[in-house]
Amino acid sequence: MVRMAVIGCGYWGPNLIRNITKVKDCRLVAIADQKPERLESVKHLNSEMKPTTVTSEVIESDSIDAVVIATPISTHFELAKACLQHGKHVFIEKPITTTSAQCRELIRIAQQQRRVLMVDHTFIYSGAVRKLREIIDSGELGDIYYYDSVRLNLGLFQPDVNVLWDLAPHDFSLLTHLLDRKPTRVTASGSSPVSWNGWQRESIAYVNMELDGGAIAHFHLNWLSPVKLRRTLIGGSRKMVIYDHLDTENQIKIFDKGVELRQDQDRYKVLVQYRMGDLVCPKVEQTEPLEVACRHFVHCIQTGEQPITDGNAGLRVVQLLEAAERSMRREGRTPEVWTPNNKAVSARV
């Protein structure tokens, strides 16, 4: 029986508490939050949990084997490091840390202490993403041409990060999990039309990536959209697939559509032929992804298996976030671009 604790009972913590409570071979024995009112608001979810506002009580307890960390991103590293150093297995919210150096340090300590380090890249554990991976691995899409992702809504403004660090971990973890292609170049631009907590941080970001083997990827992340969209489109030489997380009836649609280019008899002409084949909506398992992730964490503790979303998966995501952030800070600029009326405008990379 794995004895578990959750640190952080704000917006996401209660979802973790609810799902951990469903996992067999696991008892949720403690919860910690600096705010007593947050502890009060979740106590009905599990009568066994002992609440505390003193986080170190959880970290140092001998009667806790594993800790789930759902606190703001800027606190992840110190909390996870302390938990690992006290011999706890750690399941930590996305993104794992705020720098890749911190992430490498956590991976090193987890290896040294022989403890499980797992990051909550929640969507990886969804039935839809498992199906997507099957489709891509089978080669059904052909050569991958592009990966296009949109994640927008009127967002929950995070206290310590911009929209990139809040939303892109979902999409960067999906990209690195689904496609066996190394990103070779990352460029990004962002916009900060509103300020909160006295900070002017990006609430809209566009990220472009070039991938090994020629495919390109684009990510649209936005906290200022009137509609909620969670869509990923992957196009290949044979078929194209769309993953719409919010379309619960048909989360995955495979289109047998594409273009074929043929040289005409007259060799100066190229004919474009469109292929309009079937649309297939495969069956997708609907278990809540967070429950599957929590079960996987307990399974890895019991068996010593490496989690699917281990420290290295977390590191790949943080490296992409760092690259996009560097680009957004305009560390590279393209030369000036001339408009037709010879007025200079600046294009940034």
**Residues found near ligand NAD in the complex (CB under 6 A):** 7-13, 32-35, 38, 55, 70-73, 75, 93-94, 120, 122
Helix (H) or strand (E) holding 55: helix 55-60
Query: Which residue lies nearer to ligand NAD by CB, 208 or 225?
Result: 225
Within the chain, how many helices (H) and strands (E) appear?
A: 9, 16
Q: How far is the CB of 206 from ligand NAD (least distance, A)?
A: 20
Three-state DSSP at 285 gives coil
Do 174 and 309 touch, CB atoms closer than 8 A? no
CA angle 310, 116, 291 (to 5 degrees): 70
- Taking the alpha carbons of 314, 315, 319, 325 in that order, is the dihedral positive or negative? positive
Q: To the nearest 10°, report the CA torsion of 221, 225, 230, 234.
A: -60
Query: Which residue lies nearer to ligand NAD by CB, 89 or 181?
Result: 89
Helix (H) or strand (E) holding 101: helix 100-113
Q: Note every long-range contact of 192-199, with CB atoms under 8 Å and residues 24 or more positions apart, other chains counting.
A: 192/162, 193/224, 194/224, 196/157, 197/159
Query: Which residue lies nearer to ligand NAD by CB, 135 or 318?
Result: 318
Which residue number is nearest to ligand NAD in terms of Cβ? 10
Query: Which residue lies nearer to ligand NAD by CB, 92 or 141?
Result: 92
Q: How far is the CB of 330 from ligand NAD (least distance, A)?
A: 25
Query: Which residue lies nearer to ligand NAD by CB, 31 or 240?
Result: 31
Short-list 9, 49, 14, CA closest to 29:
49
Q: How far is the CB of 54 from ligand NAD (least distance, A)?
A: 9
Q: How far is the CB of 122 from ligand NAD (least distance, A)?
A: 4
Three-state DSSP at 107 gives helix
Q: How far is the CB of 20 from ligand NAD (least distance, A)?
A: 14
Q: How far is the CB of 161 from ligand NAD (least distance, A)?
A: 8
Query: Which residue lies nearer to ligand NAD by CB, 12 or 255?
Result: 12
Q: How far is the CB of 53 from ligand NAD (least distance, A)?
A: 8
The tokens for 199 are: 């900070």
In this structure, which amino acid lies at residue 38?
R
Q: How far is the CB of 155 from ligand NAD (least distance, A)?
A: 10
Helix (H) or strand (E) holding 5: strand 2-7
Left (φ > 0), alpha (ψ -120 to 50) or beta: where does 87 sit? left
SS3 content of the chain, % helix, strand, coil (to 5): 35, 35, 35
Q: How far is the CB of 4 from ligand NAD (least distance, A)?
A: 15
Q: How far is the CB of 48 from ligand NAD (least distance, A)?
A: 19
Cα–Cα distance measured from residue 310 to residue 118, given in angstroms and rounded to the nearest whole number = 5
Query: Which residue lies nearer to ligand NAD by CB, 254 or 315?
Result: 315
Cα–Cα distance measured from residue 317 to residue 99, given in angstroms and rounded to the nearest whole number = 10
Query: Which residue lies nearer to ligand NAD by CB, 52 or 327?
Result: 52
Query: Which residue lies nearer to ligand NAD by CB, 144 or 320?
Result: 320
Query: Which residue lies nearer to ligand NAD by CB, 14 or 235?
Result: 14
Do 227 and 213 touch, CB atoms closer than 8 A? no
